[in-house]
Amino acid sequence: MKKRKMYFRMITASLLRRRSRMIIALLAIAIGATILSGLLTIYIDVPRQMRTQFRNYGANMILTPAEERIQPEAVAAALSFISQDEIVGVAPYRYETVRINDRPVLAAATDMQGAKAASPFWRVDGEWPDSDGEIMVGKNVADLYLLRVGSKTTATYMPEEATEDTLDNSSDFTVTGILDTGGKEEDYVYMSFADMQQLTGKDKGYDVCELSVSADAEGLRAYADRITGELSSVNAKLVKRVTQSEDTVLSKLQALVLLVTVVVLMLTMICVATTMTAVVAERRKEIGLRKALGASNSSIIAEFMGEGIVLGAVGGLLGALLGFWFAQTVSVNVFNSSIVLMPWLVPVTLLASVLVTAIACMIPIRSATDVDPALVLKGE
Amino acid sequence: MSALLELKNVSKIYGSLHALDHVSLKVEQGEWLAIMGPSGSGKSTMMNIIGALDKATEGEILLDGVDIAKKTAKALTEIRRDKIGLIFQQFHLVSYLTAVENVMLSQYYHSVPDEKEALEALERVGLKERARHYPSQLSGGEQQRVCVARALINYPEIILADEPTGNLDEANEEIVVELFRKLHEEGTTLVVVTHNPEVAEVAQRTIVLRNGKVERETVNPNFTGKIKHITLQ
């Protein structure tokens, strides 16, 4: 039999035949590794999760025209600078004043799907318009003109300078939804670009385009700078109250997760060190015997460290698997979405567990080498 | 015969206590020596010093012509590994290893574990059938026989046994002494510390220690290596 085989036989026999003590150490390592793996997953995945959550608070970048209006081609060019995976919603708007019941009201033409994606916090009583001739009205407008879901109304375009062509240009609309945001959006009537064009007779073009982009503040700033720098017809600006809040919350959350991870690792180390100290104390006679048989200090260290490393590896593997489950549970319950499995975390958790266990074993093992065989093997 | 082991004026002093006090002793190659004495007489101290488990305060200890008295702890470990076979009263087997693995443990530190050779050693002590049993599954006598197999597996120059029959019943005592007799016949040098006069009487020579000094020395004129039990009236 090779020495190595005997070495592994001794280590496995020691661990398997002294289960009760070793299970405590293994549990401590596995729990530590679970928390480590889980929190690392959350630490890495939390910005993605949080950004998705933050996207519920609306657009974080605004495109405004450098001159009169933004053309759709300029928006397409601006979007080409942004990673497609990060674009959550694009809502272009064009504003005109129209008359309903002979009273002026602000009309906003937009892409309904884009507006829905860019402003998920909008609450609509009824349905979003999905075909021409349908409008959504803000709650204030609905209250003012006594409009309800299903009401029919006529909107008339009232240009600043009326001409023969535009005067008395009217369209009939059906109200499909009442918009409730608690903000200025409640003062508008929302319709499609086609309806707006028919009503006003004006060409395409947007007054503003709101973007919801799932990127950190630095990334957003880079995108905005590039759009403004490279496109002469468009200026990109960040909605600072949103991006700064995101950054502050994220950095605090990550710092908290990191702190908890470090504390858990230290507690694991203390628990393993305590268990290994008890193990060494229990096995003083065995250590003495091994030394009496000719074991060098390095042999004793190798044997106990071997046991520690096996414990660390098994605990680490358990922890890596349980950690994913832990992170998944936290993510589903807190962020309401699944996390992405990061396979590289398995070897990282394994290595970290082995390292933490090895460090925790150092002091107890050092005391094992101090055992005096003549004292511990004494007769009676 | 040449002296395998020689103690020259060896003393071991703990504070004001002289556990060994200028002891001189020779053990010849292939000799069977018994060391007797009351508790506290210095038997275990002498055993530890001869067994390279402890250092003498003064004096010379020549093992195979080499003075081990001034050796470092590391060098003493090598001497124990290469030259000495130890047998203890409390057996001291590793509880989570089988009998054969306990024997192989000694090989592991000495050179290379060889299961076949370890099984042969167990066969010599009549325990081949119990090779896969754990110490808890063996009787006291069987455990001590495993210890004998472990002590002889590396062909040591000297076997030191500290109260080897102290925890055994009469039948197992006989078995162990018989094993010593066989080892002696094969030329193994034996030093046996014992309280038991019956065990001491089977040795070739007996020394009696008292207060750290050799009080007397007797040579067994009728040495047979066989134990004779005394029936108390």
pTM across the whole model = 0.71
Q: Which residues of chain B have pLDDT under 70?
A: 1-2, 225-233
Residue A278 has pLDDT above 60, yes or no: yes
Q: What is the mean pLDDT of residues A197-204?
A: 80
Distance (Å, whole) CA B26 – CA B193: 15
Q: What is the mean pLDDT of residues A146-158?
A: 89
Q: What is the mean pLDDT of residues A48-67?
A: 81
> Which residues, in sequence order, are CB contacts of A92 under 8 Å at separation 6+?
A70, A72, A75, A110, A111, A114, A206, A208, A209, A210
- Closest B-chain CA to A12: B96
Q: Is there a contact between B156 and B29 (Cβ–Cβ < 8 Å)?
A: no
To the nearest whole angstrom, how far is the Cα of A293 from the nearest Cα of chain B? 6
Q: What is the mean pLDDT of residues A140-162?
A: 85
Distance (Å, whole) CA B53 – CA B86: 10
> What integer pLDDT is reported at residue A161 of this predicted model?
63
- Closest A-chain CA to B134: A17
Q: Residue A288 — pLDDT band, cuts 50, 70, 90? A: very high
CA torsion angle A347 A350 A353 A359 (round to 10) = -80
Q: What interface predicted TM-score (ipTM) does this complex get?
A: 0.90
Nearest to A11 by CA among A269, A295, A304, A326: A304
Distance (Å, whole) CA A346 – CA B49: 52
- Closest B-chain CA to A288: B92
Q: Which of A285, A292, A299 sits opposite B53 (nearest CB)?
A: A292
Q: Is there a contact between B204 and B198 (Cβ–Cβ < 8 Å)?
A: no
Distance (Å, whole) CA B185 – CA B200: 17
Q: Which of B94, B119, B162 is most worth mutating to test chain A (most A CB atoms within 10 A of its CB)? A: B94
- Closest B-chain CA to A286: B94
Using an 8 Å CB-CB cutoff, list chain B residues near A5.
Answer: 113
> What integer pLDDT is reported at residue B16 of this predicted model?
87
More confident residue, A159 or A65: A65
A164-178, A212-226, B81-95, B96-110, range with the lowest pLDDT: A164-178
Question: Cβ contact (<8 Å) for B97 and A10?
Answer: yes
Q: Which residue blocks in chain B are alpha helix, DSSP H?
A: 43-50, 73-83, 99-110, 115-124, 140-152, 170-185, 197-201
The gap from C-alpha B190 to its chain's centroid, in whole angstroms, comes to 6
Residue A192 has pLDDT above 70, yes or no: yes
Question: Residues 14-33, chain B: which have Cβ within 8 Å of A?
Answer: none
> What integer pLDDT is reported at residue A202 of this predicted model?
76
Question: Cβ contact (<8 Å) for A289 and B92?
Answer: yes
Nearest to A272 by CA among A364, A370, A348, A367: A364
Using an 8 Å CB-CB cutoff, list chain A residues near B104.
Answer: 1, 6
Q: Which of B79, B106, B109, B119 is most worth mutating to test chain A (most A CB atoms within 10 A of its CB)? A: B109
The 3-state DSSP class for residue A188 equals strand
Q: Which residue blocks in A171-296 are alpha helix, DSSP H?
A: 193-200, 217-230, 240-282, 284-292
Sign of the alpha-carbon dihedral angle for A157, A159, A164, A165: negative
Question: Cβ contact (<8 Å) for A377 and B90?
Answer: yes
- The greatest distance separating any two alpha carbons of chain B, rounded to the nearest whole angstrom, comes to 52
The 3-state DSSP class for residue A24 equals helix
> What integer pLDDT is reported at residue B232 of this predicted model?
43
B72: phi > 0 → left, psi -120 to 50 → alpha, else beta; which? beta
Q: What is the mean pLDDT of residues A178-187?
A: 91
> What integer pLDDT is reported at residue A279 of this predicted model?
85
Question: Cβ contact (<8 Å) for B48 and A18?
Answer: no
Q: Is there a contact between A127 and A177 (Cβ–Cβ < 8 Å)?
A: yes
pLDDT per position as a tens digit, B31-51: 999 999 998 899 989 999 999
Q: Where are the extended beta strands (E) located within chain A?
A: 61-65, 87-100, 103-110, 123-126, 134-138, 152-157, 170-180, 188-191, 208-213, 234-238
> What integer pLDDT is reported at residue B159 of this predicted model?
94
Question: Cβ contact (<8 Å) for B106 and A285?
Answer: no
Q: What is the mean pLDDT of residues A346-371?
A: 91
Residue A226 has pLDDT above 60, yes or no: yes
Point out which residues pair with A103 in neighbouring strands: A100
CA distances from B13 to A284, B40, B46 (A): 25, 13, 12
Nearest to B150 by CA among B92, B96, B63: B92
Strand ranges across the sheet with B205-210: B84-87, B158-162, B189-193, B32-36, B205-210, B213-219
The 3-state DSSP class for residue B214 equals strand
Q: Is there a contact between A165 and A156 (Cβ–Cβ < 8 Å)?
A: no
> What integer pLDDT is reported at residue A55 of this predicted model?
74
Sign of the alpha-carbon dihedral angle for A35, A37, A38, A40: positive
pLDDT per position as a tens digit, A305-337: 999 999 999 999 999 999 989 888 888 888 777
Question: Residues 284-313, chain A: which have Cβ within 8 Å of B?
Answer: 285-286, 288-296, 299
Using an 8 Å CB-CB cutoff, list chain B residues near A291.
Answer: 77
Query: How much is the mean pLDDT over chain A?
Result: 87
Residue A303 has pLDDT above 70, yes or no: yes
To the nearest whole angstrom, how far is the Cα of A378 from the nearest Cα of chain B? 8
CA distances from A314 to A27, B92, B130 (A): 10, 30, 33
